[in-house]
Structure 1
């Protein structure tokens, strides 16, 4: 017991200049550690660590309260404790549909899933979609890699670099609400671009500019497909899918690197990506057998309608 009192007494002497901030008083030297609250014990431990020769951090969650420990374990339950079971099922459904369309027609994951992710759990945008896109586009390259336009993808990735840096800065600086508005704007832009049917000539300069726009949009909102879909829409199915797949595989990795450096990637995002990965994998597996029976025009119209519906819900949510 003397040792325990000595620890508290040492704590108070070390932390005396900031005792008011730590919530300690002279009488605290007569109290046992178990008599302090959780918050007080944390502040005492911090005070004892001032100017140490060595700090050993062992079992960082072992001293959590029963409630805190339960919350920590709940982070890894399925569904995660931050969403309802219905919200989790909805996320799986849109990821499955988005990955199916991404493999079948070359786009769809970001356009369809991003608005829904932003509605159910705003902190998942854009990181979770980008993480899932890496796996999905890798599958596309395995299937259609022989049709890849390597030169075109290379020039587009050249433009993606500055766009990625700008997009990462937006994610780091913008609060959740402006970022939600940006997601809505990107969906509307993608839909209008597809309906309008604008067909720019895929010159080197145009491809670089489109790559920069895709990098900005994709890194900030995970919706980077529309600029490249417009630029390469004259490509046949396998060539379009493989070229866009290569661009988005490398581009998503670039975006994730920039977001990680800016501090926008955390365990929360990684956990959700892990939980949603089976739905993405199922979409990839179903894409080929189902894609053979899909009418490309009607599928695009349906995808645009779903994307607009999700964006509309997201927009309304910002004013409710």
Structure 2
């Protein structure tokens, strides 16, 4: 463990720990936010965290959110999204060895921005079977490639009640992250060192989630929609900037 900690300067560790606390707090309140906040910064400051360790941390906080409000889970929504997520994860692992990730990132970021714009202009996107399956495919691809798999799902589920969204999305993201991690392990893309990084940051994830306990009840549906669309927009724009900068 000491050798692992020596690989990163103390300031970077402090920044990453603070980001994990804040991201877990946002995830606990709004149902999304963990990977979307941490992944873009981690890719620049601490690239070893992307995608495997963030999938492990994000999947864990998603499971906690699902268990906390498990009575609000919508089974039909979860099943459709998971089918698409499984297909998307397989596509992503194949793409990681065949296609330039830059083109994939830009394409999905633009698609997310287009969906956000349509939602903001009044298009009512409902969590139908078809919409959830398509959102699941997009989530599987982006989640496996970049650790950020929530935006497509959040847009498709934005009109659910806040508790239903947090619980259902949490279960989808946990099971989807678990599948993505398994595929990365089988492909030799998730190392023991990356697993140790997840363990080191785990207490900070738990702290952020614990802080979200009371505030989640104060989030209304209109505020939830604005929060979701805002975080999705920031995530997509950051992904575009990061890809072009690289």
User: Is this a same-fold pair by TM over 0.5?
Assistant: yes
Asked if the contact 2:109/2:240 (under 8 Å) is kept, the reply is no
Matched, 1:258 2:180: no
- Structure 1: stretches of 5+ with no match in the other structure: 1-72
Q: Deviations over 1:166-222 (max 9, x none)?
A: 112233456xxx546755665564455334415334332222222111111111111
Give the count of matched residue pairs: 240
Asked if the contact 1:155/1:204 (under 8 Å) is kept, the reply is yes
Residues in 1 aligned to 2:98 and 2:3: alpha-carbon distance in whole angstroms: 26
RMSD: 2.7
CA gap of 1:124–1:107, structure 2 versus 1, over 3 A, is same
Asked if the contact 1:102/1:108 (under 8 Å) is kept, the reply is yes
Residues in 2 aligned to 1:223 and 1:308: alpha-carbon distance in whole angstroms: 10
Matched, 1:194 2:122: no
Residues in 2 aligned to 1:313 and 1:214: alpha-carbon distance in whole angstroms: 20
* Correspondence list, 1:159-238, <5 A: 159-173=84-98, 178-179=100-101, 182-183=104-105, 186=108, 189-197=111-119, 198-238=123-163
The match for 1:314 among 220, 239, 242 is: 242
Matched, 1:76 2:1: no
Q: Which residue of 1 aligns with 2:20?
A: 95
Q: How far 1:305 sits from its partner (Å)?
A: 7.2
SS of the residue corresponding to residue 76 of structure 1 reads helix
Residues in 1 aligned to 2:28 and 2:153: alpha-carbon distance in whole angstroms: 15
Q: Deviations over 1:47-68 (max 9, x none)?
A: xxxxxxxxxxxxxxxxxxxxxx
Q: How far 1:313 sits from its partner (Å)?
A: 6.2
Q: How far 1:235 sits from its partner (Å)?
A: 0.4
Asked if the contact 1:98/1:283 (under 8 Å) is kept, the reply is yes
CA gap of 1:188–1:284, structure 2 versus 1, over 3 A, is farther
The match for 1:155 among 80, 86, 107 is: 80
Matched, 1:245 2:170: yes
Taking structure 1 as the reference length, what is the TM-score of the superposition?
0.66
Instruction: Select the structure that is richer in helix.
Output: 2
Residues in 1 aligned to 2:89 and 2:171: alpha-carbon distance in whole angstroms: 16
Residues in 1 aligned to 2:135 and 2:45: alpha-carbon distance in whole angstroms: 30
SS of the residue corresponding to residue 216 of structure 1 reads helix
